Structure formats: structure tokens, C-alpha cells
Amino acid sequence: MCSTLSISAATNDVRLITLDPGHFHAGLVQKFMYPQVSPVVHVYAPAGPDLQEHLNLIEGFNTRADQPTRWEEKVYVGPDFLEWMLRERAGNVVVLAGNNTRKTEYISRSIVAGFNVLADKPMAITPTDFKRLHKAFSRAAANKVLLYDIMTERYEITSILQRELARMSELFGTLEKGTPEQPAVIMESVHYFFKQVAGKPLIRPAWFYDVRQEGEAIPDVGTHLVDNVQWVCFPDQALDWRKDIKVSKGRRWSTKLTPEQFKRSTGLDQYPDYIKKYIGPDGALGVYANGEVAYALRGVQVKVTAQWEFEAPPGAGDTHCAIVQGTRCRLAIKQGAEQNYKPMLSVQNSVPASAAQFEQTLQAAVARLNVTWPGLELRQAGVEWEIVIPDKYRVGHEQHFAQVTEKFLRYLADNTMPEWEVPNMIAKYCTTTEAYRLSHRTRK
């Protein structure tokens, strides 16, 4: 067995390796410096624009006027980049964010070699990937290394408060079971192909529009939604992927991109050969970037929907909506035009006969939250109550990557994670890849 690279508690010597970066999330892990992380980062990748975009992003962090970083990138370029990384062993944490075709392979081989792994979602995009990932978790335990995925939505303040309120039985009651027609839990997100990152237009690699390389909607961005369902509804509880999950339905549909939109997003004048099979008679590219999955989690009926559009309306960005129904109240996160595209958490009484008592209970619940998050207020809006959240808690998607990384670094220092994290990652990817399988079944 390969020797294990461990984190020294005395020196806090964390040495990052970036493997085949092809997504801007790889760079966002390095948007800030961390006291326990060496500024020298080894990068292993094939030659091409993906690598250059990554290095440009890091250089932008190093040269910005406000809080410049001081990363020193040591780059190896060549077709044998993976073998060279495994041979050279220049660090102890492999960071993965890019083309998802080989990601599960990268994870598996890194874990077998004794590296810790911090991976962007998704860690698996097909049922075959899931089987390999499951084995990787077992090997990580045997090698005493950590395998962890980047779940930024857990650090969004409305999601945090929704989770906390759902744990207050005097307010929320218990989680309803719901029905397939009326699920007790609904999670939805809308993402956009063309957006700004670190203040500049994001250039997507062409392979991003090939779902065989990026992953379809539920196995890709739907990972965040499935994770949130587990994290909000069954906090700090280990789920059994064999017993607790029953996926009943999965479906997918495409978003069309015109040649002009494709060029604006990628900078390319024409479609590469590997995605020409998805081009329709009108010349538009059909990307299977939308999906829906219906499933039961410990008997609770859940519906998750992930969609992609080309560009957000002015003032908007990626959106997240979440409804969790309790016996006493409904907790809902909304982020539409009515909310000025800002996530807003509302609470609605499910037992109207006790309106006065409900208001008193809700006031007490918010007072408890204010101990940790001072400045929260309540505002009545028709039949709902809105939780008014100060802007200081709305740190943004890019900041969440630093928060996830800091959490991972604490796990590394302890050389352990909460006992529910690994089984729940396995449960999550079981759900998303089973949704993929169902959505590809031949229809009669």
C-alpha cells in the first residue's frame, strides 16, 4: 500500500496540488490566502486554454489592488500529467475542478496514492462513476485521508437560517411526508451560461456544453440541491444510501444556444466536432442542461429541479429556491424578480387558527437566531413573515469557496470529519446518478 501523506498538526503544512483545472471553481479555492497553506501550488495539466484561463485567474488574484494573494504556481504540462503528479508527490491535497469525464478516475487514483482530495461537484456523473466513487470512499478510510466535495450552498445565509428554523420543533413542528403530487420538500435552481466571475466575463470551455464531459443537470448542479435537502431536513444524521433513498422519476430536457451565444460564451467561431451531434436544423446547439428528479428520502417526498438559461436578466444571477413543509409552518427561500433577485427567507403559518401564538413563537425563534446572527428582523408580508437579513451576512458565491476551504482545512487538522459527512456524500451521489439512469431509460 502507498504511504499516506498526512497533515502535521505542529506545522500546519498544507501543500495544494491543482489537477487538470478546467473550471473557474479551481481558481476560486485560491481567491484568498490561508495561514496553514503553502503559497507554492503545483499544477499538473494538459496544454490548452483551460490551463491558461486558470493561471490567468490566479494571476488576477495576485495582482489585484484589494487583498492581493501571493500564490506561486509551479506548472507541469504534458499528456502524462496525472502520472507525473502521482510520481512527484509535490503536495498533500489535490484540488479538482474541471472536465468531469475523468474526475472520478482522478479522485480514485489520488486516494489510492494517499492524497487528500478537495473536489468541486460533481464527483460522479453516471451510475458507473458512482460505483467507483463508492470504492474511493472506502479506500480513503483505509488510507486515512479525506475526500470532500465543495458544497457552497451550505454557506448561503438563507439556507443556514432555514436549516436552523427547521430544527426548532416549537416553530416548525415535524417535517411533513408529502405526496408525489405535493412534495414536502422542493428545491429549484436556475443557472446561467454567460456570467461575470471576479469582475470579468466568464469564458466557458467548449466541452462545458457537452453533457458527456460536464454532466447533465441533476448529476451536475443538482448535486447542490440534493445536498441541501439532506443537510436541511436531516441535519447531522448519517443516511444509508441503500435503505433511505427511493428515486421514482428522472427527466431531462435541453436549452438551446444560438451560434452567436456560443461564440459569446466560448470565444469560438464554430462548434467543435464532438458536440455537432446536438445541433438542430436551425443551427442551435441543444444542451441537456435541465433536469428534474422525484424521490423519497426516509419517506419524505422530494422534488429537485435544475435549469440553465443563457444569460440572467439585468441585476440578476444564479437563483436558488427552496420550500420545506413542516406540520406547524412552511419555510421558503425565494429569489425572483419580486425579491430583486436576492435570496429571501419567509415563514408561513400552517395552523391559521393559532396566528397569535405563532407570531409569538416566531419572534422567540428569531431572538434565538440573533444570538449568533445579530441584526435579524421580522417583517410581515401578507400571510407570510419575512426574515430581514443584514447585508453583512450576504457574502456571495465566490466568498463561499473560501468558507468551504477553511472548513476542509479544519477537518484536515483533525484528520477526521463529522461521521455523517461521508455516508451523506455517498447518498447524494446515489440519488443524482440514479436520476440520470431513470432519465435515460428508453420510453415506450
Q: How far apart are CA 357 and CA 365, in angstroms?
A: 12
Lowest mean pLDDT across 105-119, 174-188, 235-249, 312-326: 312-326
Instruction: Specify the pLDDT at position 317.
Output: 84
Task: Report residue 241 as a C-alpha cell.
Answer: 444510501
- pLDDT at residue 10 greater than cutoff 80: no
Q: How far apart are CA 221 and CA 190, in angstroms?
A: 9
**What are 338-370's pLDDT values in tens digits?**
888 899 999 999 987 788 999 999 999 999 999
**What are 148-172's pLDDT values in tens digits?**
999 999 999 999 999 999 999 999 9
Task: Please report, for residues 2, 121, 231, the alpha-carbon distance to residue 140 in angstroms, rounded to integers and kept in the order given.
Answer: 12, 18, 22
pTM exceeds 0.85: yes
Q: Determine contact, residues 108/132, Cβ cutoff 8 Å.
A: yes
Average pLDDT over residues 50-54: 95
Q: How far is C-alpha 282 from the geometric centre of its chain's CA atoms?
A: 34
Query: Model confidence at 196, in pLDDT bands (50, 70, 90)?
Result: confident
Taking residue 313's Cβ as centre, other Cβ atoms within 10 Å add up to 10
Instruction: Specify the pLDDT at position 340.
Output: 85
Query: Model confidence at 255, in pLDDT bands (50, 70, 90)?
Result: very high
Query: Model confidence at 9, in pLDDT bands (50, 70, 90)?
Result: very low
Average pLDDT over residues 51-77: 97
Backbone angles phi, psi at 318, to 5 degrees: -55, 140
- pLDDT at residue 3 greater than cutoff 50: no
> What does the radius of gyration of the chain's CA atoms come to, in whole angstroms?
22
Query: Model confidence at 226, in pLDDT bands (50, 70, 90)?
Result: very high
Percent of the chain with pLDDT over 90: 88
Within a 13 Å sphere around the CA of 395, how many CA atoms are in the beta-carbon half?
15
Query: Model confidence at 244, in pLDDT bands (50, 70, 90)?
Result: very high
Write out the CATH class of domain 16-150: alpha beta
320 Rama class: left (phi>0) / alpha (psi -120 to 50) / beta = beta
- pLDDT at residue 308 greater than cutoff 60: yes
**What are 13-35's pLDDT values in tens digits?**
899 999 999 999 999 999 999 99
Q: Where are the beta strands (DSSP E) in 195-343?
A: 196-197, 200-201, 245-257, 285-297, 300-311, 319-325, 329-334
Total length of the chain: 444
Which residues, in sequence order, are CB contacts of 157 under 8 Å at separation 6+?
343, 373, 389, 393, 394, 395
Query: Model confidence at 7, in pLDDT bands (50, 70, 90)?
Result: very low
Q: How far apart are CA 69 and CA 30, in angstroms?
A: 8
Task: Report residue 400 as a C-alpha cell.
Answer: 463561499
Q: How far is C-alpha 127 from the geometric centre of its chain's CA atoms?
A: 19
Taking residue 209's Cβ as centre, other Cβ atoms within 10 Å add up to 26
DSSP class per residue in 11-34:
T--B-EEEES--SHHHHHTTSS--
- CATH number belonging to domain 154-398: 3.30.360.10
| Largest distance between two CA atoms of the chain | 69
Task: Report residue 72 as a C-alpha cell.
Answer: 506561486
- Domain residue spans of the chain: 16-150, 154-398
Q: How far apart are CA 127 and CA 434, in angstroms?
A: 7
Instruction: Specify the pLDDT at position 12.
Output: 54
The 3-state DSSP composition of the chain as helix, strand, coil percent (nearest 5) reads: 40, 25, 35
Instruction: Specify the pLDDT at position 5.
Output: 46
Within a 13 Å sphere around the CA of 351, how many CA atoms are in the beta-carbon half?
14
Q: Are strands 329-334 and 319-325 parallel, antiparallel or unpaired?
A: antiparallel
Unique residue bearing C-alpha cell 468541486:
120
- pLDDT at residue 444 greater than cutoff 70: no
Q: How far apart are CA 376 and CA 383, in angstroms?
A: 19
Task: Collapse the DSSP code of 235 into the 3-class scheme (helix H, G, I; strand E, B; otherwise coil) and give the result.
Answer: coil
Q: How far apart are CA 271 and CA 22, in angstroms?
A: 18
Which residues, in sequence order, are CB contacts of 240 under 8 Å at separation 6+?
423, 427
- pLDDT at residue 250 greater than cutoff 60: yes
Q: How far apart are CA 62 and CA 131, in angstroms?
A: 39
Instruction: Specify the pLDDT at position 353.
Output: 74
Q: Determine contact, residues 146/417, Cβ cutoff 8 Å.
A: yes
Average pLDDT over residues 383-404: 94
